[in-house]
Amino acid sequence: MNAEIERRLERILPTVQKPARYVGGEYNQTVKDLAEVDTRVVFCFPDTYEIGMSNVGIRILYEAVNNMPGVWCERAFTPWGDMEEAMRANHIPLYALESHDPLADFDLIPISVGYEMSYTNILTMLDLAGIPLHASERKSLHNIVFAGGACTYNPEPLAEFFDFFSLGEGEESTVEIVNCYRSAKRAGLTKDEFLHEVAKIPGVYVPSFYEHRYNPDGTLAQIVPLHGAPAKVTKRIVQSLDAAVFPTKPIVPSTEIIHDRVNLEVMRGCIRGCRFCQAGYTYRPVRPRLPETLYRQAVDSLESSGDHEITLSSLSTSDYKFLEPLTDRMTDYCAARHIGLSVPSLRADNFSRDLMLKLQRVKKSGLTFAPEAGTQRLRDAINKNVTEEDILKTCEIAFSGGWNNVKLYFMLGLPTETDEDVLGIADLVFKILNTWKAHASNKKRGVRIHVATAFFVPKPFTGFQWEQQITPEEYLRRARLLKNSMFSKSVEYDYHDDRVSEMEAVFARGDRRLGPVIEAAWRRGAKLDGWLEYFDYDKWQAALRDCGIDPSFYTTRGFGLDEVLPWDTIDPGVRKDFLKRERERAYRSEITPDCRHGCAGCGANCLLEGGVCDA
């Protein structure tokens, strides 16, 4: 342990909230002997420990890198505001949790970026570590800062801060990147020479190798690859999830985190193709894990962690083909040991009484469904292939099975949405309430229907990537319209913050001109923007003004179908002409069947050896 940091920490930790998240030392963390380590990596997550430790990606890559002899991978998270302040006041640099060594001591600093509103946290972490914010200011091979994660499908707003981006799934590419770095270090390459080497790894995108030129109207004119860089960089996938590394000795946090349980990823990708959903497109092609692999991983992880809950995660777990054999085996194992088994992301169209009974053998958790839209027309337009009948039938099963708590998620501001669609949500909720009245097994306990609406944010690589976002005022009008149409005391309604969603939309489809905005907002004190207690809209407005940027360019304007898009350099497998076709179908309220009912030809199958999806 770093003695000086230790001494200062001891004095500030009693003054901050939840100090356990700042000291590491959890069961199953990896500690290596520095004498046997030639390369030090610190995985950073630009949000709190509780959020970051709930992220499966970080855990997988921590395992993958620590499996490499001679390489030690540690962790760092964004400190909460009180801790950041105390660290600055006491001159404590950001340190890695395992060794408590300052981040500046590390060779490679990968940062997992999954949410637009965490961008300022990246700057907070680099600054707290004393590492220059801009890639161009970091001249040597020391402190190479790169990123992966969902936001790197449009990394342009972050381009000036990162040396490179690792696109797609990192199990294999991260290991290749670390090895490339070790060779570069041994050979004494310059940073520039290293960047040329690392760019040869498939999936690695070096933003400084591309020049973005703009038209007088502000739209992108051209993206010019420099130094022989490829015009497109294709994301990486792992071919076999069964062979891919998976941490079966997970770190067990000593303090409660958001997902405080074993998280078993049953498949990657989603067969559905909801037109607003970035993950649904970018995680393609669909690849399941075999139930045998999963059962073994579940048992190993549960025994090694001592967790008393396990969740079967994926974008749509009830679509996992082997769900029944897997849950059969799992429920027997779990029930005998008081282990709760939960299945999130259920769909209302294939929810079965059987599955419900299995899941409540140990612990009964709430039911959550996401119909996303209130009318069939709009559900068809967004390709959420769920019918009202499915939803009501599912609720009937749940209510008669003793559930009295349902959460329903919707979106407001979806393309083509009218007031009729908004009122359709209230109508659906009313029908669900009536279903409860007709089928509740125990009416005395009452019912709670929790309705939540999100403000639609158009995302890159979706069928809606060109669409306009409605204004925050219009969103609030629709939210109020909905609120005033739901009368029952059993219904609770809340809606996402309009201003956060507006900013999210700016950065989701942003270009390189937004890098200075992020920095300006951060310099004005913006931090932890994903947390409403910190999010400060005025700071962002001021930062946009400072940089002469009109946010509506990225939100309500919409992007032209022939416009050069900032993310055009990136190839997620799914083709642009497919996305255009999906957009057209949306405007005709025409559904696209899921992958099992016929291949829609998205193009992601080309990423697979053999070119055939196992949907």
Partner 1 sequence: MLRASFRKEGNAVWISHLDLMRVLQRAFRRAGIDLKHSQGFTPHPELSIALPMSVGISSDCELVDFTPAEGVELDPAEVPARLNPVLPAGLTVTDCWAEGRKLKHLVWLEARLTLVYDDGVPDGAAEAIQALLDRPELVVEKHGKKGPVEVDIRPMYRDVRLKREPDPAHPREDALTLTLVCAAQNPTLNPLLLPAAIERYAPEYRPDFTRCRRLRVLDAELEAFR
Which spans of this chain sit near partner 1 (rule: CB under 8 A)? 10-11, 13-14, 18-20, 22-27, 252, 254-256, 260, 303-308, 337-338, 340, 362-364
Whether residue 586 contacts residue 415, with contact meaning beta carbons closer than 8 Å, is answered with yes
Q: DSSP per residue over 499-566, as a string?
A: HHHHHHHHHHT--GGGHHHHHHHHHTT---TTSTTT--HHHHHHHHHHTT--GGGTTTS---TTSBPT
Query: In angstroms, what is the minimal distance from the CB of 77 to partner 1?
Result: 15
Query: In angstroms, what is the minimal distance from the CB of 516 to partner 1?
Result: 38
Residue with smaller CB distance to partner 1, 6 or 420 = 6
CA dihedral 58→59→65→69, nearest 10 degrees, is 160
Largest interatomic CA distance in the chain: 74
Residue with smaller CB distance to partner 1, 185 or 308 = 308
Residue with smaller CB distance to partner 1, 26 or 265 = 26
Whether residue 264 contacts residue 312, with contact meaning beta carbons closer than 8 Å, is answered with yes
Look-up of token digits 């009693």: 14
Residue with smaller CB distance to partner 1, 90 or 215 = 90
Residue with smaller CB distance to partner 1, 105 or 260 = 260
**What is the chain's Cα-based Rg?**
24
Look at residue 438 and give its three-state secondary structure: helix
Structure tokens at 408: 């329903």
CA dihedral 55→58→59→63, nearest 10 degrees, is 170
Look at residue 177 and give its three-state secondary structure: helix
Residue with smaller CB distance to partner 1, 185 or 364 = 364
Structure tokens at 543: 């930062």
Residue 418 DSSP code: -
Distance CA 453, CA 137 (A): 42
Distance CA 168, CA 298 (A): 25
Query: In angstroms, what is the minimal distance from the CB of 296 to partner 1?
Result: 18
Structure tokens at 581: 């076709």
Residue with smaller CB distance to partner 1, 191 or 363 = 363
Residue with smaller CB distance to partner 1, 197 or 307 = 307
Distance CA 272, CA 349 (A): 12
Distance CA 244, CA 25 (A): 27
Query: In angstroms, what is the minimal distance from the CB of 509 to partner 1?
Result: 40
Look-up of token digits 């076709």: 581
Query: In angstroms, what is the minimal distance from the CB of 403 to partner 1?
Result: 12
Residue 90 main-chain phi, psi, to 5 deg: -110, 15
| C-alpha separations of 276 from 373, 379, 456, 459 in Å | 12, 11, 8, 7
Query: In angstroms, what is the minimal distance from the CB of 31 to partner 1?
Result: 9
Whether residue 237 contacts residue 168, with contact meaning beta carbons closer than 8 Å, is answered with yes
Query: In angstroms, what is the minimal distance from the CB of 87 to partner 1?
Result: 15
Query: In angstroms, what is the minimal distance from the CB of 89 to partner 1?
Result: 15
Residue with smaller CB distance to partner 1, 342 or 468 = 342
Residue with smaller CB distance to partner 1, 255 or 471 = 255
